[in-house]
Structure 1
Amino acid sequence: MIRPTVNRFRSNKLILFLFVFLGLGTAFAFTFKNDKLFAIAKNLDIFASLIRELDSYYVDEINPDELISIGIQAMLEELDPYTEFIPEEEQDDFRMMTTGEYGGVGALIGNRIGTNMILMPYRGFPAHEAGLRIGDEILRVDSTDVTDRVTSEISRLLKGPANTGLTVEVKRGEDTLRFQLTRKKIVISNVPYYGMVDGKTGYIKLSDFTTNAAADVRNALTDLKAQGMEKLILDVRDNPGGILREAVEIVNLFIPKGKEVVRTIGKLQSVNTVYKTEKSPLDKDIDLVVLINERSASAAEIVAGALQDYDRAVLVGRKTFGKGLVQSTIPLSYNSQVKLTTAKYYIPSGRCIQAIDYSQKDEDGNGRSVADSLRNSFTTKNGRVVLDGGGIEPDESVESIIYAPITYSLVGRSLVFQYVNKFFLENKEIANPRSFQVTEDIYHDFVDWLGDKDYDYTTRVEKAIEDLEKFAEKEKYYEDIKNEIASLRKSVSHSKEQDLVTFKDEVKEALRDEIISRYYFQEGMVEGSLDNDPDVRVAMDLLKDKQLYAMKLNPRKQ
């Protein structure tokens, strides 16, 4: 009689245990989430209380907006370099960076030799059409004296709604000039230059991935094909990336419809997206070389990596930056925004090319590079081995140019820039960018002009001797070898005059680029560099040798 009662009791106890267990599991999930929300609310309350007390009791007056902004930026810097807060007053600058559009005069300005000046007027826009030139020192914008203003303040004064007027006063040589301009909508092309390198090979310089990047490349490609182009060099060196969709459409110009270009994978399902080509390609067969370097990043790496994964192009240059992180912009209160990392992207072979792991920090708080031992192997369409975790490796490497210290000194101290300002005032025109050369007469005039200028520098060998001397003193060997160090220093002591002879060719090249920019602007600088560009020369050699080109894309068939 008692047995069923015991069983019933045990049964009820089991049911109760299961109920409690399941309830605890659910409660644990909610508790975990609630604990995180409580931690956020608690710390926000602490932060608000801290600001109030600082405002009340701190010995000096504080600026709450500035202090909180610093706090926000410091917090975000703990995550990665790409997550950033964008306050309301910086919305226009952010929009310009992402779209390439703004209202203004169409000129790049900057500070050289302690003076704010025009560094590059963009052809066809108000600054260029009004006659402003590279090297013009900006004195006044409308009624505002800007001689002591920072560059960013002058930039804001020059920008404004389209069809509004302004007056810009500049100093050019010994003259003070005033220009009346009308602002307009400025749309900077993502393709500053395209043209034929030789009779059959075209070249497209892609500098950004803002709005219309794919359309800019498509238009250039169509025009070059109409000129008889049979081979193409696409240059994404120094391209920092930009809009993901534009990268997908550029890849689509060269590969068939329906192919995966990139996929994004993040914590939330809503950011997991596969991007495929949606149109018929403009040319899926043209021999193609893509130029890359250590400053090719993000969308530029998607283009280069996808074309490599499909064995559609040979990559020439140096390993890319390695940015495989995707940012999304989320609106916040008071018209502010946060641009934050929401996913990683993976190109067709399956590899993620992110080079830095920001979830793992070193003792200085910097993200750690992905170790070579942790990089994984993947294969391209033709079975070539490619690696993740460190940028896009070129198929044909080209060493970067290392310039002599004298060249760095002359350029870094703006002496080349200043001399070319003088040259431009004295010479109304020069030959076209591909033909112009710095003659011996021009170079001798430059050397004479340098006579009373300060451009001293330390060579790498001299720096090594300085380091040797410091280590010798630290480790108590100096007295034993000081005579040898003195003799070595004397034997390698540089002569600026001799260096101007020894490194004349590269100093001439720096002068040539700067001079061309005065007469032919940004596009002229790109065009003028083509014949002396080592990456372009390697690309041309590859495209001329069909067998070598084919072997790079499919070595197993050779």
Structure 2
Amino acid sequence: MVIRLPKWFLLCICAFFLSQGNKVVDNLFEYSKNIEIFTALYKELGTNYVDEIEPGKLMKTGIDAMLKSLDPYTNFFTEYQAEEALIEKQGQYGGVGCRIMLRNHYPVVNFIEEGYAFNNADVRLGDIITSINGISLKDKSTDQLLSMVRGAPNTSFSIEIDREGKSIQKQITRMAIKTASVSFSGMYQGDIAYVKLEEFGQHAADEIETSLKKMMEKTELKGVILDLRDNGGGLLNEAVQIVGLFVGENRSIVTLRGQNVTGPKNWITPNKALLPNTPLVVLVNEHSASASEVVSGSLQDMDRAVIMGQTSFGKGLVQNYASLPYRTQMKLTVAKYYTPSGRCIQRLQYGDRDENGVAKTMSTAQKKAFKTQGGRTVYEGGGIDPDVALKPYQGLEILKWLEQENIVFDWANQQYNMLPDTLFQAISDQQFAQFSQYAVKKSQTKLQEKLHKSMASMYSDTQFLQQISGLKINSDQVNTKVKADLIKQKSSIVLALNRAMMERKLKKNRFHPAWLLLDLESKEAAQLLHEPARYQSLLK
């Protein structure tokens, strides 16, 4: 079979050359030579390879591998994936209101949006979706699953779920879903405005402004807590406008630098300040990234807010979407962004990799120092370091293990499914003891699985693997270690268990206020806002 390069691929090449101008001329021979080699290779495979080849699949594999060598944010989208990306960007679509993770070959529900299809049908966290309309979901990709659950509002489909070993059939009716960026806002401790921003979607700045205005009508605000923990970013223009709410118009927030940046290179606040002088604390953690770091980094550089929490993720790269032929699309990294002090907070240096192909990070000695507007020292190359560093309960090694291996998640699901209609009650000593027994047993099992999986990846000798299949970890040592860590970190683990049960037992409008009463980081932020002298000293 003779295969030809897809027309869209050739058009992409032509468009690339035309758009690059003089930059490509210097490397014209290299580009031309490699395209010629690639074309010949592709043709040779189609003509002489022993088995029949799927041209589109082969090309997609090659493109994905090529882009992966650059950075994880530069991606090619098929026609369907491009449509899904547009839907996500617009924040409105017909679906079921959930997120899933893949475990043991099947999708598992790990988030349900209140008021939407899955929630209305009593689909629960931890439910394993085994089939849709009778089609098994074993080893199906996330894209394949999305294509089955999304569709026109008011259309239906059937699902089969596995809940604690019991098979359950459900009929699901799709609904029009519109995602909000602000998941909760309200008064905290009487005089502090608290705003939880989940993402920087369309209208995120308007949502924050509306929330703050409502709270300003109730009382004179002593301060604002902007919670960006676990916020992975979103639209840059929304981030710039959010900063504008606190610093006013015509302030430079972020500068883009790249080989061929199109559009604005210097992003300026377009809006007037809503709260130009009100004390502000921004909460961040290791999952706060991209647009979250634009907001926290620029506010830090302008000495306008105290950043509190843990060092942020460190994503200082900017992506744009490029339309390609046949309704395909590409998201590509076009620039690095720099905060007002002139620093780039990108942590991983994808252009500098070790012998295993892993992107390096800057050493402390390599990081340049920069100055904020008031003369404080800040550093490049490692995310946003908080002005007030807090030890996170998620940062404890035992709790990281419990959450990474879904032990807290699975236990909370089990507890909820036993008594779904009871009211939330704080975790008791008896429940903690029960969880400890559960965690010890699960940890031992998971470590055993990891041992065998690791050995299997290292050795291909089937006979040897059979010989070591009986290899066991020292269960007594594991049990002793896990038990000791659980007891040592009891308060933090109880806090995580309380949150997990609250997420299952309480509706959204009750969950956030209840969690704020327990959240130690929000309490620290509020305490700082109630101490004006200490707050001001941190900005000098």
Question: TM-score, structure 2 length as denominator?
Answer: 0.81
- 2:480 partner SS: coil
* Whole-angstrom CA distance in 1 between matches of 2:142 and 2:330: 25
How much does 1:288 deviate?
A: 0.6
> Partner letter of residue 69 of structure 1?
K
- 1:312 partner SS: coil
What are the Cα deviations for residues 457-516 of structure 1, in whole angstroms up to 9, with x where unaligned? Answer: 899xxx9xxxxxxxxxxxxxxxxxxxxxxxxx9999826556655544344333222211
Contact 1:265–1:272 (CA under 8 A) maintained in structure 2: no
How much does 1:303 deviate?
A: 0.5
Give 1:515's match in structure 2, choosing from 495, 501, 518: 501
Could you tell me which residue of structure 2 aligns to residue 82 of structure 1? Answer: 73
Please identify, of 146-155 and 302-311, the stretch whose mean Cα deviation from structure 2 is larger. 146-155
> Partner letter of residue 57 of structure 1?
N
* Whole-angstrom CA distance in 1 between matches of 2:445 and 2:108: 26
Could you tell me which residue of structure 2 aligns to residue 439 of structure 1? Answer: 428
How much does 1:215 deviate?
A: 2.2
Please identify, of 357-366 and 125-134, the stretch whose mean Cα deviation from structure 2 is larger. 357-366
> Partner letter of residue 208 of structure 2?
V
- 2:182 partner SS: coil
Q: Against the structure 1 CA distance between its residues 415 and 303, is the aligned structure 2 distance closer, same or farther, given a 3 Å change threshold? A: closer
- 1:192 partner SS: strand
- 2:256 partner SS: strand
How much does 1:441 deviate?
A: 4.0
The aligned runs of 1:249-268 (5 Å cut-off) are 249-268=241-260
* Whole-angstrom CA distance in 2 between matches of 1:181 and 1:319: 41
Q: Against the structure 1 CA distance between its residues 455 and 367, is the aligned structure 2 distance closer, same or farther, given a 3 Å change threshold? A: closer
Match status 1:46 vs 2:37: yes
What are the Cα deviations for residues 512-537 of structure 1, in whole angstroms up to 9, with x where unaligned? Answer: 22211112266766544434434323
Match status 1:550 vs 2:539: no
Contact 1:141–1:169 (CA under 8 A) maintained in structure 2: yes
Could you tell me which residue of structure 2 aligns to residue 163 of structure 1? Answer: 154
Contact 2:127–2:161 (CA under 8 A) maintained in structure 1: yes
Could you tell me which residue of structure 2 aligns to residue 456 of structure 1? Answer: 444
Could you tell me which residue of structure 2 aligns to residue 222 of structure 1? Answer: 213
Contact 1:231–1:288 (CA under 8 A) maintained in structure 2: yes
Percent identity between the two aligned chains: 34
Match status 1:385 vs 2:401: no
- 1:390 partner SS: coil
Could you tell me which residue of structure 2 aligns to residue 91 of structure 1? Answer: 82
How much does 1:456 deviate?
A: 1.8
The aligned runs of 1:317-332 (5 Å cut-off) are 317-332=309-324
The gaps in structure 2 that reach 5 residues or longer are: 1-20, 452-474
* Whole-angstrom CA distance in 2 between matches of 1:381 and 1:405: 37
> Partner letter of residue 455 of structure 1?
S
* Whole-angstrom CA distance in 1 between matches of 2:514 and 2:83: 34
* Whole-angstrom CA distance in 1 between matches of 2:397 and 2:341: 42
Please identify, of 309-318 and 504-513, the stretch whose mean Cα deviation from structure 2 is larger. 504-513
- 2:94 partner SS: strand
- 1:140 partner SS: strand
The aligned runs of 1:133-212 (5 Å cut-off) are 133-146=124-137, 149-172=140-163, 176-212=167-203
Contact 1:405–1:458 (CA under 8 A) maintained in structure 2: no
How much does 1:122 deviate?
A: 0.4
Structure of higher CA gyration radius: 1
* Whole-angstrom CA distance in 2 between matches of 1:324 and 1:414: 30
Contact 1:86–1:336 (CA under 8 A) maintained in structure 2: yes
* Whole-angstrom CA distance in 1 between matches of 2:22 and 2:82: 38
Question: TM-score, structure 1 length as denominator?
Answer: 0.78
How much does 1:203 deviate?
A: 1.7
Q: Against the structure 1 CA distance between its residues 122 and 492, is the aligned structure 2 distance closer, same or farther, given a 3 Å change threshold? A: closer
The gaps in structure 1 that reach 5 residues or longer are: 1-29, 464-488
Q: Against the structure 1 CA distance between its residues 134 and 524, is the aligned structure 2 distance closer, same or farther, given a 3 Å change threshold? A: farther
What are the Cα deviations for residues 4-29 of structure 1, in whole angstroms up to 9, with x where unaligned? Answer: xxxxxxxxxxxxxxxxxxxxxxxxxx
The aligned runs of 1:414-493 (5 Å cut-off) are 414-429=406-421, 436-446=425-435, 453-456=441-444
How much does 1:299 deviate?
A: 0.8
Q: Against the structure 1 CA distance between its residues 146 and 341, is the aligned structure 2 distance closer, same or farther, given a 3 Å change threshold? A: closer
Q: Against the structure 1 CA distance between its residues 421 and 328, is the aligned structure 2 distance closer, same or farther, given a 3 Å change threshold? A: closer
Give 1:106's match in structure 2, choosing from 97, 117, 122: 97
Contact 2:343–2:380 (CA under 8 A) maintained in structure 1: yes
Contact 2:134–2:159 (CA under 8 A) maintained in structure 1: no
The aligned runs of 1:361-400 (5 Å cut-off) are 361-400=353-392
How much does 1:407 deviate?
A: 4.6
What are the Cα deviations for residues 258-301 of structure 1, in whole angstroms up to 9, with x where unaligned? Answer: 22222223223634522212222221122110012222221111
- 2:125 partner SS: coil
Q: Against the structure 1 CA distance between its residues 121 and 491, is the aligned structure 2 distance closer, same or farther, given a 3 Å change threshold? A: closer
Q: Against the structure 1 CA distance between its residues 418 and 167, is the aligned structure 2 distance closer, same or farther, given a 3 Å change threshold? A: same
How much does 1:429 deviate?
A: 4.4
Could you say what the CA RMSD is over the residues aligned between the two structures, in angstroms? Answer: 3.3
Contact 2:315–2:383 (CA under 8 A) maintained in structure 1: yes
- 1:254 partner SS: helix
Contact 2:129–2:137 (CA under 8 A) maintained in structure 1: yes
* Whole-angstrom CA distance in 1 between matches of 2:249 and 2:187: 28
Give 1:292's match in structure 2, choosing from 270, 277, 284: 284
Could you tell me which residue of structure 1 aligns to residue 300 of structure 2? Answer: 308
* Whole-angstrom CA distance in 1 between matches of 2:297 and 2:397: 35
What are the Cα deviations for residues 185-219 of structure 1, in whole angstroms up to 9, with x where unaligned? Answer: 32222222223331112221212112222122223
* Whole-angstrom CA distance in 2 between matches of 1:302 and 1:309: 10
* Whole-angstrom CA distance in 2 between matches of 1:449 and 1:364: 38
Contact 1:406–1:457 (CA under 8 A) maintained in structure 2: no
* Whole-angstrom CA distance in 2 between matches of 1:430 and 1:223: 34
The aligned runs of 1:522-533 (5 Å cut-off) are 527-533=513-519
Give 1:541's match in structure 2, choosing from 508, 527, 540: 527
* Whole-angstrom CA distance in 2 between matches of 1:274 and 1:407: 42
* Whole-angstrom CA distance in 2 between matches of 1:120 and 1:358: 32
How much does 1:454 deviate?
A: 4.0
Q: Against the structure 1 CA distance between its residues 152 and 338, is the aligned structure 2 distance closer, same or farther, given a 3 Å change threshold? A: closer
How much does 1:374 deviate?
A: 4.2
* Whole-angstrom CA distance in 2 between matches of 1:431 and 1:131: 17
Match status 1:345 vs 2:337: yes
* Whole-angstrom CA distance in 2 between matches of 1:259 and 1:283: 15
> Partner letter of residue 326 of structure 2?
Y
Give 2:120's match in structure 1, choosing from 108, 122, 129: 129
* Whole-angstrom CA distance in 1 between matches of 2:529 and 2:164: 47
> Partner letter of residue 261 of structure 1?
I
Equivalent pairs counted in the alignment come to: 493
Could you tell me which residue of structure 1 aligns to residue 270 of structure 2? Answer: 278
* Whole-angstrom CA distance in 1 between matches of 2:348 and 2:433: 48
* Whole-angstrom CA distance in 2 between matches of 1:449 and 1:372: 41
Could you tell me which residue of structure 1 aligns to residue 462 of structure 2? Answer: none
How much does 1:411 deviate?
A: 4.3
Q: Against the structure 1 CA distance between its residues 373 and 95, is the aligned structure 2 distance closer, same or farther, given a 3 Å change threshold? A: same
How much does 1:233 deviate?
A: 0.9
* Whole-angstrom CA distance in 2 between matches of 1:492 and 1:524: 39
Could you tell me which residue of structure 2 aligns to residue 7 of structure 1? Answer: none
Could you tell me which residue of structure 2 aligns to residue 482 of structure 1? Answer: none
Please identify, of 155-164 and 540-549, the stretch whose mean Cα deviation from structure 2 is larger. 155-164
* Whole-angstrom CA distance in 2 between matches of 1:268 and 1:450: 52
How much does 1:44 deviate?
A: 1.7
- 2:314 partner SS: coil
- 1:494 partner SS: helix
* Whole-angstrom CA distance in 1 between matches of 2:296 and 2:23: 43
